[in-house]
C-alpha cells in the first residue's frame, strides 16, 4: 500500500528541498514542473481540501454552529495544507503534517456523532478516551511503527467507526423524507468519493511505470490527466466534505432544525449548509 519510486533522471542532491527523507514518494516525477516544488500536481490539487473546508467554515461561523463543527472543518483545511507541504518538499516532517491531521479530523467527526446532542452525555470520558487513542497512534507511528500502512489502517478504522456511529444515530431519529434525501445524498457522495479516490490511488501505485510512459507520450497539458495521485486528492476531498456535511446536517436534524436548513453549492463545486429558501405561496 506504500509507494517509493526513484527518479533516475535527476540527481537528488540538486533538489531544492534536498534529498527525500519521507517514507513515501509518489508516481509524479520529482521537480519535473517546478524547481521549488517536488511534486507539483500532487501539491496544487490539495487546494481543493482548503477550498471545500473554507466553504464549510464560512457556513459554520455564519450560522453560529457548534465548536465541534468549526473544529472539523478547520481540521480538513489543515489536512490540505499539510499534504500540500508534504508533496512540495518530500520531507519526513511534512509527511507527518499530511498523515496525522487525517487521523485527527476523523476523530473529531467521530466525537461529533458520539456526542451529537446539545448537552454532552458522557462528559469528559469520550474526549479523553479519543485523545488518548490518537496520542497513542501518534507516538507509535513516530517512534515505533513508521510503516505508512499502520497509519492507513488506523485512519480507515476511525472513518469506518464514524460512519457506523452516524448510521446508528440516523436510525434512532424520526426524519422527514426531505431530510432523509439530503442525508442520503451526502452519505452516498462521501462513500463514492472515498472509494473512487482509493481506486485511483491504487492504480497510481500499481501501474506507475506505465503511467509515466503514457504521460511522456501525451506531453503537456494532457499528461496532467494521468496524475492519478492528484485525482486521489480531488476525489477524497469531495468524499471527506460530503461525509462532514452528512455529520453536520445529522446534528442539525438531531436538534430539530433540519426544516430550516438545506445544502447548496457555491460556484457549482463548493457545497455548504445554508438557510432553506421558503417556497412562494401563490
User: Which of 269-277's residues contact partners 24+ apart within 8 Å by CB, and which partners?
Assistant: 270/51, 270/52, 270/55, 271/52, 271/55, 271/241, 271/242, 271/245, 272/55, 272/56, 272/58, 272/59, 272/245, 273/56, 273/59, 273/60, 273/63, 273/65, 273/245, 273/248, 273/249, 274/59, 274/63, 275/63
246 labelled binding-site residue? no
87 labelled binding-site residue? yes
39 labelled binding-site residue? yes
Q: Are 23 and 2 in contact (CB under 8 A)?
A: yes
30 labelled binding-site residue? yes
The Cα–Cα gap between 21 and 89 comes to: 9
Q: Which three cell numbers stand for residue 57?
A: 467554515
The Cα–Cα gap between 74 and 81 comes to: 11
248 labelled binding-site residue? no
99 labelled binding-site residue? no
257 labelled binding-site residue? no
Residues tagged in the binding site annotation for Zn(2+)? 87, 229, 233
Binding residues for Ca(2+): 25-26, 28, 30, 39
Binding-site residue set: 25-26, 28, 30, 39, 87, 229, 233
Amino acid at each position: 500500500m506504500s509507494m517509493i519510486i526513484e527518479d533516475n533522471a535527476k540527481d537528488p542532491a540538486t533538489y531544492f528541498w534536498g534529498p527525500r527523507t519521507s517514507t513515501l514518494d509518489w508516481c509524479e516525477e520529482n521537480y519535473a514542473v517546478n524547481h521549488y516544488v517536488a511534486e507539483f500536481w500532487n501539491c496544487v490539487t490539495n487546494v481543493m481540501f482548503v477550498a471545500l473546508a473554507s466553504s464549510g467554515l464560512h457556513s459554520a461561523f455564519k450560522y453560529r454552529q457548534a465548536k465541534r463543527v468549526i473544529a472539523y472543518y478547520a481540521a480538513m483545511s489543515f489536512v490540505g495544507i499539510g499534504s500540500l507541504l508534504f508533496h512540495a518538499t518530500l520531507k519526513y516532517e511534512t509527511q507527518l503534517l499530511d498523515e496525522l491531521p487525517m487521523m485527527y479530523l476523523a476523530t473529531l467527526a467521530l466525537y461529533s456523532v458520539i456526542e451529537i446532542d446539545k448537552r454532552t452525555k458522557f462528559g469528559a470520558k469520550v474526549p479523553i478516551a479519543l485523545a488518548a487513542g490518537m496520542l497513542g497512534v501518534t507516538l507509535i507511528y513516530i517512534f515505533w511503527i513508521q510503516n505508512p500502512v499502520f497509519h492507513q489502517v488506523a485512519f480507515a478504522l476511525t472513518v469506518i467507526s464514524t460512519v457506523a456511529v452516524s448510521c446508528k444515530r440516523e436510525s434512532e431519529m424520526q426524519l422527514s423524507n426531505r431530510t432523509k434525501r439530503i442525508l442520503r445524498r451526502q452519505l452516498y457522495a462521501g462513500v463514492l468519493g472515498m472509494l473512487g479516490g482509493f481506486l485511483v490511488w491504487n492504480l497510481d501505485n500499481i501501474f506507475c511505470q506505465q503511467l509515466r510512459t503514457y504521460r511522456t507520450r501525451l506531453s503537456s497539458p494532457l499528461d496532467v490527466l494521468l496524475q492519478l495521485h492528484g485525482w486521489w486528492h480531488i476525489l477524497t476531498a469531495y468524499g471527506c466534505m460530503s461525509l462532514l456535511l452528512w455529520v453536520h446536517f445529522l446534528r442539525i436534524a438531531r436538534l430539530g432544525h433540519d426544516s430550516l436548513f438545506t445544502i447548496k453549492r457555491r460556484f457549482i463545486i463548493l457545497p455548504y449548509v445554508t438557510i432553506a429558501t421558503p417556497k412562494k405561496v401563490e
